Amino acid sequence: MNDGDNLMCIVKKLVGIIIFSVSYPTFATEYNPFETDCGNISVNEYFSNYQVYDLNMYRGSLQTEEEARDWAGKGAIVKQDMFQIRNIKISNPHYEIKCYKPFIEGEVPLPSQRLSNFYGVGIERKRIDILYVYDPKLKRETPSTQFDIVGKELWWLPNGWLYKLKTRQDNTSLCDDTEMAEFSCQLTNKKYVSLCESPEIKMLQYKYGTSGKVELVYPNQYEAPIKWQPFESTIVSFERGQYKYRIDSQHKGYVLFVTKGNKTIYSKQCKRVF
């Protein structure tokens, strides 16, 4: 690789950091003449684990479609003592809900007053409800990120993309309430394989089994980290003793293989649930 290629790689990494650090085009947290009463809406109603079920581009973006869609099916943790979405992780976050009257045709709000409907997102709404998330360690008035509240869903709008999140069904992964599910699929034997990231140990774990009994967890504290390659034909692989485990991405879905030496001793289709 020559110096030009090295420079290009550095630039791409810096752009990626900027893209994934920016969470919303503007923050309407200062005085806003469009602000209105929220009624009885409570932050507690939205404490849950979420997963992305739909996404689309709503304005120009430096983020490619492939990069955006890599996050389809992944999730977020919105809890009283923990918040996590992509690279934003906050312990003991502060939440605030504010509500706004939608703009009407002919109104030109200031940049600091622009909400998602200004960009054509959810223009049929009669009120724009926003959940703001603050990191108390930063000691600033600007939120770390924000979501539009639409019914029981949260809409996240970073970098020109709209991600729609709904509460995660507990039976679709083996990850617990404090973990982020990066991937989960159901085998033909009705068991699950899940890749779970814990904010505490900052390690991706492979789990196999059912919600009532997790039969295998990898790695432990003495084992090598998992190789997670979502764009490769083998998305995850690891070894334990004489056994090798891998999940392959194939034309019809995913397949879990377990081999011992050169012999495949286990092979099952795995339907991705998120």
Domain span at 132: 26-167
Q: What is the mean pLDDT of the chain?
A: 83
Which residues in the chain belong to E strands, given as ranges?
Answer: 35-36, 48-57, 75-78, 82-85, 88-91, 94-100, 128-134, 145-150, 153-156, 161-167, 180-187, 192-198, 203-209, 214-218, 227-228, 234-240, 243-250, 253-260, 263-272
On whether residue 264 sits in a domain, the answer given is yes
Helix, strand, or coil (residue 203): strand
Indicate whether 61 and 106 sit together in one domain. Answer: yes
Of the residues 167, 194, 219, the one at which a domain ends: 167
Percentage of the chain lying above the pLDDT 70 cut:
85
- Kindly state whether residues 197 and 131 are assigned to the same domain: no
Instruction: Assess if residue 162 is contained within a domain.
Output: yes
Is 0.75 surpassed by the pTM of this model? no
- Within a domain: residue 87? yes
pLDDT in tens, 55-101: 899 988 888 888 887 776 677 889 999 998 988 989 999 999 999 99
* Closest to 124 in 3D by CA, of 145, 147, 151: 151
pLDDT tens for each residue of 128-173: 999 999 999 987 778 999 999 999 999 999 889 999 998 876 567 8
Last residue of a domain, one of 109, 137, 167: 167
In single-letter form, the type of residue at position 160 comes to G
